Structure formats: structure tokens, C-alpha cells
Structure 1
Amino acid sequence: MLPIEEFFPLLTTPRKIIITTHQKPDGDAMGSSLGLYHFLIQFSHTVTVISPTNWADFLEWMPGVNTVVDYEANKRRCHQLIEEADILFCLDFNVLHRTKNLEQPLTQAKCTKILIDHHQQPQEEAFNYGISNTGKSSTCEMVYDFIVASGHGDKINLDIATCLYTGVMTDTGSFRFPSTTASVHRMIAHLKDIGLQHTPIHDHIYDNFLENRLRFIGQALLHRMDVLYEYNTALMYIPKSDLVKFDIKTGDTEGLVNYLLTIKGMRLGAIVIDRDEERKWSFRSKGSFDVNTFARNHFEGGGHMNAAGGRSSDSLENTVKKFREIIKQYENQLQ
């Protein structure tokens, strides 16, 4: 994988470009994709954002989201777009399998592939150019850096600023996580100078849910949470019946794992949700406990040191039982 700076000279020649991200895109995935989209179209490129799956309703307000193509709902069209593409940007994922059913078409694509990502252990051999920086707060911050470093910072408009702010805000936990460096604040200051209005973005992301989600969270906190004080760990397990009962949609469980770390003394929060095809894990930690390694070693996952995900093909009951056994190995690290 060549340094992304070597791609800069190709920016100004109009091409057919695809931008894609991980399945069930969050604020950073959609924000970085649309931020890059609004940048590239200024060079007369033909640009299409393809999402591997659907996305949360709280992202529907974002500038340009109406142009995003859902792969699962438009496979034939997406296959044709990928086959005809000259350039493919892959944002906010480190390995191609995180695009779910889109993995094979992306692997087979003959076009130039570019990675911009901040997760650990990237699949470098799959890309022609790229940058992977785990020290960055978000892929949105990296897209901002990409635009500025390319010499075209003057093209950052309000649409780009809105999209990039969304991803930085969500991936830094509204600027409270350790990844919120001085460079993040300098970026936000620049976006504010352009005219960014940050309060409406916060309202769209965090204050835009239906009543049933709040009742679902109450059910989860009251009946689906165990606190393992001997391991400074809080565990939550959500059966499929709860998702059906409260009509939970994509994005409604976003951020639920963070509640677990609000309990005094907790160093690890883990939530597993019973999805149709698999059980999906989210892990969050405080301090030096590395959930990226934990997820990779035990639950076919990975991510960042203090935030990671995983999966299991076992039943919900068995995967929870497995977690309870595994966590005993980490008693000393979690003290």
C-alpha cells in the first residue's frame, strides 16, 4: 500500500469514483463518506457512495444522504457501478469483510483502491494507496487531513464541514474520549470559522429517536444487565424478542454500551445483541484494558484499544456463558 500522498496528483483528473464504508454505517462512516463525496464532486468526478447495508434514521438529514445507494437493496446496480469504477475509496474499516456481502465485489474490483481508516491491523495488501492511523479520533478527521494535505483546503464548504463534524463528534463521544487531541479542536475551530452550526447536528444525532427506544433502554437496564463487580465489568445481553417487542430499528442500539461504563468503578462494558444471522458484540473499556485484543482473541472482532466489536455464531445463551468464563482470565488486568 503506497502512501496516500502519492495519490494527490490524480485528484484533479475526472474519474468514476466509488466510496464505501463498513456495514451498518455510523456517524463517522457516513460522515466521512459524504464529506469526501462533497469534496470530490468539485473536481467533476462522477461519485457514488455505496453503503453495504441500510443505515440509521438519525443519519437521514445529512447533506447528500439521498444519493447513497444501499447495496443490499440494489445489488445489480452496485455491481455495475463497481465494475465501471476507476477509483474505489474505502473508509472507516480496516479489512474488507467488514463490508459484509459487499466483500466479494470489492475484492474482485480491478480499479485503484484507496484506504482511509483509523482501526488497528489494516488489510494493507488489498489497497493500492492508503493511510491507517490509529492515533486519529475518527475517519472524518482523516478525511479533513486528506483534503488539507492535498492542497485543496479552500474547497471545504458547509456540506463538507457538516458531514465531517458529525463523525468527529460521534466517534469522540462528543469530545470526551482520549482521542480528542488538540488537532481535533483545531479542525473544529476551522469548521466553525467556515460557518458550521454544531447544535442542530447534535439535535439530529442524539435527540431524534422515538419513544419506543427509550422504553427499550429501560428494559435493557432493568432486566438485561449484570454487574460483575469482582471483574469491574458490566455485561448486557439483548434477546431478539426485545428487538421485536420494542420495534428496534438500525441505529436504535447505538451508544447503549456506553451506559455500562457510567457505573462507578467499571473498566469494561460489554453488550451482545441477538441478531438474525449472528450475535453482535460491542466492547468499551477505560484505562489500559485493550478490548481490541480481547475481541480479536475471543469474538472474531477488533477495533480500537478502548472500543471494539465482535461476533459469534453461537446462541445468545452460549455466547454469554462463554464471556463469563473468559472474563475470569482477566481478573488481574481489570482490577
Structure 2
Amino acid sequence: MQEVKFVYPLLEEQKRVVITTHQKPDGDAMGAALGLYHFLSQLNHHVTVISPTNWANFLDWMPGCDKVLDFENDRELASKIISEADVLFCLDFNILHRTKNLEPVLAAASCLKVLIDHHQQPQVEVFDYGISNVHKSSTCEMVFDFIDASPFSTLLNKDIATCLFTGIMTDTGSFRFSSTTAEVHRVIAVLKETGIDHTEIYEHIYDNFSESRLRFIGNALLNRLEVLYEYNAAVMAIPKKDLVKYEIKTGDTEGLVNYLLTMEGIKLGALLIDRTEERKWSFRSKGDFDVNVFARLHFEGGGHRNAAGGRSSESLEENVQKFKTVIKEYEQQLQ
């Protein structure tokens, strides 16, 4: 994988460009994709953003989101666009299987593939150009760096800044996570200078949910939370029936796992959700406990040191029991 700076000369002539993200794109993934979309469109490239799946409704307000193609809804068109692309940008994921059913289409694409991502252990052999930096707060911060270091940095505008601010804000937990460096604040200052309204962006993301979601969270905290005090850990297992009862949509469970770390003394929070096709884990930690390693070793996942995910085809009950078994190996680390 060559350095991402070698992509700049390729952008001097018009190209057919596709931008994609991981499945169920969050604020960082969608923000990075749309920020890059607005940037490349100003260079007169023919740009298409393709999401592997649907996304949360609270992202629909973002400039350009109405032009994003959902692969699951139109596989034939999306596959055709990818097969004809000159350049494919892969954002906020570093292993192709994180794109779900889009994976074989991306693997078969003959175009140049560019990676911009901040997760650990990238599948570097898949990409022609790219950058993988686990020390960055978000992929949106990295897209800003990509734009800022380019010969076209003056193209940064309000639409780009709005999208990038969204991703940086969400992936840093509204700037409270340890990934919020001084450089992040310098980037935010530049984005603010374009005229973005950070209060409005915050309200779109965090103050835009349904009553049923709030009741779902209440039920989860009251009836699905188990605290393992001897390990300074908490686990919450959400059965499928809860998702149906409260009419939970894509994005409604985002941030739920963070509630677990708000309890005094808890160093590891684990959220398990019974999806139709598989069980999905979200892990969060404080301090030096590495949930990336934990998820990779035990739950077919990975991510960052303090934030990771996993999956399993086993039942909800089997997963919870497995978690309670393997956590015993980490008792000393969690004390």
C-alpha cells in the first residue's frame, strides 16, 4: 500500500470515483464519505457514495445524504457503478468483510483502491494507496488532513466542514474521549471558520430521537443490565423482542453501551444485541484495558483500544455465558 499523498496527482484529471464505508455507517463514516464527496465534486470528478446498508435517520439532514446509494436497495446499479469506477475510496473500515454483502463486489473491482481509516490491523494487501493511523480521533479528522495537505485545500467549504465536524464530534464522544488531542481542536477551529453551526449539528445528532427509543433505553437499564462488580464490568443483553416492542430502527441503539461506563468503578462495558442474522457486541473500556484485543480473541471483532465491536452466530444466552467465562481471565487487569 503506497502513501496516500500519491493519490493527489490522480485527482488532477476527471475520474469516476466511488466512496464507500462500513455497513450501518455512523456519524464518522457518513461524515467522512460526504465530506470527501463534496471535495472531489468540486474537482469535477463524477462521484458516487455507496453505503453497504441503510443508515440511521438522524444522519439524513447531512448535506449530500440524499444522494447516497444504499447497496442493499439497488445492488445491480451499485455493482455497475463500482465495476466502472477508476478510483474507490474506502473510509472508516480496513477489512472488506465490514461491508457485509458489498464485500465480493469491492474485492472484484479492478479500479485503484484507497484506504483512509483509523482502526487497527488493516488489510493492507487489498489497497493500492492509503493511510491507517490508529492515533487519529476519527476518519473525518483524517479526511480533513487529506484535504488540507492537498494542492486543493482552498476548496474546503461549509458543506465539507459540516460533514467532517459531525464525524469528529461523534467519534470523540462530543470531545470527551482521550482521542481528543490538541490537533483535533485546531481542526475544529478551521472547520468553524467556514461558518458551520455546531449547536445545530449537535441537535440533529443527539436531540432527534423518538419517544419509543427513550422508553427502550429505560427498559434496557432497568431490566437488561447486569453489573459484575468482582470484575468492574457491566453487560447488557438486548433480546430481539425488545427491538420489536419498541420499534427500534437503525441508529437507535447507538451510544447505549456508553451508559455502562458512567457507573463508578466500571472499567469494561459490554452491550449485546440480538439481531436477526447474528448477535452483535459493542465493547467500551476505560484506561488500559484493550477491548480491541478482547474482541478479536473472543468475539470475531476488533476496533480501538477503548472501543470495539464483535459478532457471534451463537444465541444471546450462549454469548452472555461466554462473556462471563472469558472475563475471568482478565480479573487482574480489570481490578
- How much has 1:162 moved relative to structure 2? 0.2
Mapped partners of 2:11, 2:199: distance in 1: 33
For residues 14-67 of structure 1, give each alpha carbon's deviation from its aligned partner in whole angstroms, at most 9, with x where no partner exists. 100000000000000000000000000011100000000000000010000000
Aligned to 2:333: 333
Q: 2:157 corresponds to which residue?
A: 157
Identify which range, 125-134 or 185-194, moves more after superposition. 185-194
Could you tell me which residue of structure 1 aligns to residue 185 of structure 2? 185
Query: Shift of residue 11 of structure 1?
Result: 1.3
Deviation (angstroms), 1:130? 0.2
What letter matches 1:174 in structure 2? S
Normalising by structure 1, we get a TM-score of 1.00
TM-superposed CA distance for 1:295, in Å, is 0.2
| CA distance in 2 between partners of 1:251 and 1:7 (Å) | 33
For 1:31, what is the secondary structure of its paired residue? Answer: helix
Aligned to 1:225: 225
Which residue identity does 1:179 align to in structure 2? S
Q: Distance in 1 between matches of 2:193 and 2:57?
A: 29
Q: CA deviation at 1:6?
A: 1.1
Q: Distance in 1 between matches of 2:330 and 2:73?
A: 42
* Residue in 2 that maps onto 1:269: 269
Rounded Cα–Cα distance in structure 1 between residues aligned with 2:7 and 2:37: 16
1:30 maps to: 30
Aligned pairs for 1:303-314 within 5 A: 303-314=303-314
Q: Deviations over 1:105-162 (max 9, x none)?
A: 0000000000000000000000000000000000000000000111222101000000
Which portions of structure 1, spanning 4 or more consecutive aligned residues, are displaced by more than 3 angstroms?
none
Counterpart Cα distance in 2 of 1:202 and 1:11 = 33
C-alpha distance in 1 between matches for 2:114 and 2:141: 16
Letter in 1 for 2:43: F
Query: What percentage of residue pairs aligned between the two structures are identical?
Result: 69
Equivalent runs, 1:158-173 vs 2, <5 Å? 158-173=158-173
1:314, 1:10 → 2: CA distance? 46
Alpha-carbon distance between aligned partners in 1 of 2:79 and 2:153, rounded to the nearest angstrom: 33
Write the mapping of 1:92-131 to structure 2, written as runs, cut at 5 A.
92-131=92-131
- Equivalent in the alignment of 2:144: 144
Structure 1 residue 271: Cα displacement: 0.3
What's the secondary structure of 1:89's corresponding residue?
Answer: strand
Q: How many Å separate the matches in 1 of 2:313 and 2:193? A: 48
Indicate whether 1:252 and 2:245 are aligned.
no
Q: Distance in 1 between matches of 2:151 and 2:168?
A: 22
C-alpha distance in 2, partners of 1:317/1:193? 51
Q: Secondary structure at the residue paired with 1:332?
A: helix
- Does the alignment pair 1:240 with 2:240? yes
Q: Which amino acid aligns with 2:230?
A: E
Q: Which amino acid aligns with 1:46?
A: H
1:87 matched residue in structure 2: 87
2:17 is the counterpart of 1:17: yes
* C-alpha distance in 2 between matches for 1:16 and 1:5: 19
Q: How far apart are 1:193 and its partner, in Å? A: 1.3
Amino acid at match of 1:54: N
Q: Could you report, residue by residue, the CA deviation over 1:256-289 in whole angstroms, capped at 9, with x for unpaired residues?
A: 0000000000000000000000000000000000
Q: Distance in 1 between matches of 2:100 and 2:242?
A: 24
Cα deviation code 1:229-254 (max 9, x no counterpart): 10000100000000000000000000
- The CA distance in 1 between the partners of 2:300 and 2:306, in whole Å, is 16
Give the partner amino acid of 1:171. Answer: D
Q: Which residue number corresponds to residue 71 of structure 1? A: 71
Bigger shift: residues 149-158 or 19-28: 149-158
3-state SS of 1:120 partner: coil
Shift of 1:102: 0.3
Equivalent residue letter for 1:64: G
Cα distance in 1, alignment partners of residues 243 and 323 from structure 2: 22
In the alignment, which residue of structure 2 is the partner of 1:62? 62
Unaligned runs of 5+ residues in structure 2 are none
| Whole-Å separation in 2 of the counterparts to 1:26 and 1:329 | 32
Count how many residue pairs are aligned between Structure 1 and Structure 2.
335
Q: What CA distance in whole angstroms lies between the structure 2 residues aligned with 1:309 and 1:152?
A: 36
- Offset at 1:297? 0.1
What SS does the corresponding residue of 2:54 show, helix, strand or coil? coil
CA-based RMSD of the aligned residues comes to 0.4
Counterpart Cα distance in 2 of 1:116 and 1:258: 26
Which residue of the partner structure matches residue 206 of structure 1?
206
Rounded to whole Å, the distance in 1 between the matches of 2:151 and 2:231 is 50
